[in-house]
Amino acid sequence: MAWTRDQMAARAARELRDGFYVNLGIGIPTLVSNYIPQGMSVQLQSENGMLGMGPFPFEGEEDPDLINAGKQTVTQLPTTSFFSSADSFAMIRGGHIDLAILGAMQVSEHGDLANWMIPGKMVKGMGGAMDLVHGAKHVIVLMEHVAKGGAHKILDRCSLPLTGRGVVNRIITDLAVMDVQPHGHGLLLVETAPEVTVDEVRAATGVTFHVSPHLEVMSV
C-alpha cells in the first residue's frame, strides 16, 4: 500500500532534528511543516526572506502578506524573522541550511537531480534549488516514485536538465526510502511503505539498486 502525500510528508519529517534550519521545496515538501514533532525546535527558511514558518493556516485565517517561496500562505511563530531575499540566499550559500527537502522530476542513481525545467515548457524561474543543493548540508528528495503515465523518475541518468550533479543524499517516495551511496555505489533500498514488496519497487524504478540487509517495512 503506497503512502499518501501526507504520509510521505510525515515520513520525511522523521529526518528532522532539534535545532535544524530547514528549507522545504515546492509541492509535497511543503506538507512537512505540518508534521514537525511536538517539542522539536526546527526553523523553516524560505528563499523570499522568512525564517521560522509555522504550519499552513486554516481556511479563513490566511494572511496574504505571509507567503512562502511557492506563493502559498503560511503562518508565523513568535520566533519568526523577516529579511531580504539577498540575505536569505546568503544564508543558503553560506552553508547555514542543515537540510533541504525538495521535489524532483528525475533523480539518478548517482544523486543527480533534475527539478527545475522541462524543455519546451514555460519556466517561471529556477527558484532557489540550484543554490540549495550546493549550499545545504543534506538534501532529501520527496516525490512520487513514478510520473503520470508510469514513466520512471529514478533512473541511471537524468534526461532532463540538471539542477545539480551528485547532490541528493536520500530519496523518499510513496513506495520506498532509498539512499544514494557514496563513491558511485548506486542506490540502497532501506525502507518500503506498508505491504509494498521489493519487486514492486524494482518494477517502478528505472535502474538496478541494492537492498539493505536491514530493510524496514514502515507503517506511517
> What does the alpha-carbon distance between residue 61 and residue 78 come to, in Å, rounded to a whole number?
17
Beta bridge partners, 44, equal: 22
Which of 104, 99, 101 is CA-nearest to residue 158? 104
Instruction: Give the count of beta carbons closer than 10 Å to the beta carbon of residue 58.
Output: 8
The secondary structure of residue 13, as a DSSP letter, is: H
Residue recorded with cell 517539542: 39
Q: Please choose, from the candidates 91, 92, 83, 49, the residue with its C-alpha nearest in 3D space to the C-alpha of residue 68.
A: 49
Choice among 15, 47, 109, 191 that is catalytic = 47
Q: Return d(Cα 75, Cα 62) in angstroms, integer.
A: 8
Is there a catalytic annotation at residue 109? Answer: no
Supply the residues annotated as catalytic: 47
